[in-house]
Structures are given as C-alpha cells and as structure tokens.
C-alpha cells in the first residue's frame, strides 16, 4: 500500500480513533490497549528530562504518558489529521509529519534516550520491521537507550496462525502481526536483542537494545 493511501486511511480514522480504542476492551485486534501502553511506559523506564521519540504518535495517547513524566517528547506520523489531534492534546511536544520509511527531515537528525511506539509497526512485514529497528538503533538511539514497542502480537507463529483462524472475519490480510519467536530470531540476525512480554491475548510489548553496545 502506498504512502498516500496509508495517510488517507489514517486521516479518515483520526476523528474516531480515541473512541475506537476506548471501546476496544479485550476484543481483537486492540484487546488490552491501555495495558499495552502502560507496559510500554513501564519498560521504557524514562525519567524527567529524557528525550523520547514516539513512532506513529497518532492522537498522542502514548506520548501523553511520557509528557506527564516530564520528558522531552517528539512524535512523528504520516497522518496530518492525526497530528492535529495530537497537537490539540499536547501543545508542548514536537510533532513532525513524515512516513517512518521515508528520509527524515533535519530536525530529527539527532539521538533520543528512548524510542517508543504503539500499534504501528504491524503495518510492515518482518524484514522491514527489522531494517527500521536496526536503522533506529544505530542512527537515532542514544548510548544506553532502548526501543520499546507495543503492538498486535502473539508468542509464536503457531499462536498467530490459530488467532488468524479464530478471528478470520476481523483479520486484516494486509497487516503483519508480530510473532515473538520470529521477531527474536530475526532481531538477533540484525544485531538486536529483543525480549517480549505478552500483555493480552493479542497484544505484547517488545524491548529492543543493540548488541553492539
């Protein structure tokens, strides 16, 4: 799916996104949404004054948690309408409209103490996920930093296959939901150490640190 089509989809979702996640409860695909966000914050272990980059900031639900800790928060998103919502909630954070896979503008050419994301990277296949994470770890992560990702995920490829059968009518065939065992193996090949904590039946949090530090 092209960048333009993806941005249109998220622009159209912006006005109802917060209502959608608020009503998700434990149902697939956003079951455990609030708990996943809370676990991302917990695993990030960010302190006041740390710089935090939120990938796919959306309407700012995750970014708001880091802003409340006194962090310097940056958020990127390809949807301008999502960013309008985020800016209204969080006028003090830095927001940039850019696709994660495109070349980033100069004001993002810096390193961050923490890089976080929630419910975004399932848009990309496993190889693209790892390429993005490796690039972020080498070019945008400060020494001693970590990447923390909350997303739609399952413990194993077999568990994902079973979930596909269970929720076939709600499964988006154009999305690439995580299987922790596959991601951990692929991460090791890319020089990244991944750990995973399953938070709900379809949501998990990954902590990623580069092996070369």
* CATH number assigned to the domain comprising residue 141: 3.40.50.150
Q: How far is CA 2 from the centre of its chain?
A: 19
19 found inside a domain: no
Phi, psi angles (nearest 5°) of residue 62: -75, -45
| 170 found inside a domain | yes
Residue 71 φ then ψ, to 5°:
-80, 155
Q: Which helix (H) or strand (E) holds 134?
A: helix 126-139
What's the pLDDT score for residue 13? 64
pLDDT, residue 55, reads 98
Query: Which value, to the nearest 10 degrees, does the dihedral of the CA atoms of residues 163, 168, 170, 173 take?
Result: 90
Does the residue 80 lie in any domain?
Answer: no
The CB-based long-range contact list for 84-87 (8 Å cut-off, 24+ gap) reads 84/14, 85/14, 85/15, 85/17, 85/18, 85/58, 85/59, 85/60, 86/57, 86/58, 86/59, 86/60
3-state class of 54 per DSSP?
strand
Chain-wide mean pLDDT for the chain? 93
Which range of residues forms the domain containing residue 127? 26-74+110-210
Q: Mean pLDDT over residues 42-68, rounded?
A: 97
Q: Could you give the CA distance from residue 44 to residue 207 in angstroms, rounded to a whole number?
A: 8
Per-residue pLDDT for 20 more than 90? no
Q: Residue with structure tokens 């190889």?
A: 127
Asked if residue 91 is part of any domain, the answer here is: no
Residue 3: its pLDDT value, please? 55
Would 43 be classed as within a structural domain? yes
Q: CA–CA separation, 180 vs 160, rounded Å?
A: 10
Residue 46 phi, psi dihedral angles, 5° rounding: -80, 140
Residue 97 located in a structural domain: no
90 occurs within a structural domain: no
Tens-place pLDDT, residues 113-158? 999 999 999 999 999 999 999 999 999 999 999 999 999 999 999 9
78: left (phi > 0), else alpha (psi -120 to 50), else beta? alpha
pLDDT of residue 24: 77
**Weakest mean pLDDT among 14-23, 158-167, 176-185, 192-201:** 14-23
Q: How many domains does the chain have?
A: 1
| Confidence bin at 188 (pLDDT 50/70/90) | very high
Residue 20 domain flag = no
How many other C-beta atoms are found inside a 10 Å radius of the C-beta of residue 156?
12
pLDDT at 10: 67
What percent of the chain is predicted at pLDDT more than 70? 94
């Amino acid at each position: 799916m092209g960048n333009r089509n993806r941005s249109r989809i998220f622009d159209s979702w912006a006005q109802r996104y917060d209502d959608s996640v608020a009503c998700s409860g434990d149902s697939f695909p956003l079951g455990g949404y609030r708990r996943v966000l809370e676990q991302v914050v917990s695993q990030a272990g960010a302190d006041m004054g740390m710089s935090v980059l939120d990938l796919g900031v959306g309407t700012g639900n995750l970014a708001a948690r880091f802003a409340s800790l006194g962090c310097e928060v940056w958020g990127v998103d390809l949807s301008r309408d999502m960013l309008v919502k985020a800016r209204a909630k969080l006028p003090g954070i830095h927001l940039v409209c850019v696709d994660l896979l495109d070349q980033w503008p100069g004001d993002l050419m810096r390193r961050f103490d923490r890089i976080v994301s929630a419910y975004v990277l399932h848009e990309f296949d496993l190889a693209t996920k790892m390429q993005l994470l490796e690039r972020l770890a080498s070019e945008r992560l400060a020494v001693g930093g970590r990447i923390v990702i909350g997303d739609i995920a399952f413990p194993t490829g077999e568990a994902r296959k079973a979930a596909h059968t269970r929720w076939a009518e709600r499964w988006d065939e154009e999305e690439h939901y995580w299987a922790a065992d596959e991601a951990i193996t692929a991460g090791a090949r890319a020089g990244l150490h991944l750990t995973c904590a399953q938070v709900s039946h379809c949501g998990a949090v990954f902590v990623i640190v580069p092996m070369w530090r």
